[in-house]
Amino acid sequence: DVKVTQSSRYLVKRTGEKVFLECVQDMDHENMFWYRQDPGLGLRLIYFSYDVKMKEKGDIPEGYSVSREKKERFSLILESASTNQTSMYLCASSTRTSGRLYEQFFGPGTRLTVL
């Protein structure tokens, strides 16, 4: 059974803290993604990675950075958390080689609250 796991389901941090969100997939997927989901705004892409050590900005990268040192792991970093980064964060992965192209497998999400 394919799986994407995220390090925390719920997280509460204070303004200015550095926050790490971890994502691990066990499917040997090349592509990994970080989204945030906010009411009425759908899923917005923060960063994605199509290979180890490779990263590309998505639609809303400001205030975030990422790291992909190993194929299975993709980390999202909030350098200095702010209240407007309170959101649901979703990690996903996909492969370029399967028959179902572009299908993304999502983790359960991390609900981050910044106080």
The interface region with another protein, picked from 11-19, 61-69, 76-84, 107-115 by CB under 8 A, is: 107-115
User: 31 to 90, contacts with another protein by CB under 8 A?
Assistant: 31, 33, 35, 40-45, 48, 50, 56, 58, 90
With a CB cutoff of 8 Å and minimum separation 6, the contacts of 90 are 34, 35, 36, 37, 43, 106, 107, 109
| E strand map for 50-104 | 56-57, 64-70, 73-78, 87-94
CB-wise, 67 or 106, nearer to another protein? 106
CB-wise, 62 or 101, nearer to another protein? 101
Q: Fill in the amino acid letter for 18.
A: K
| Minimum gap (Å) between residue 15 Cβ and another protein | 26
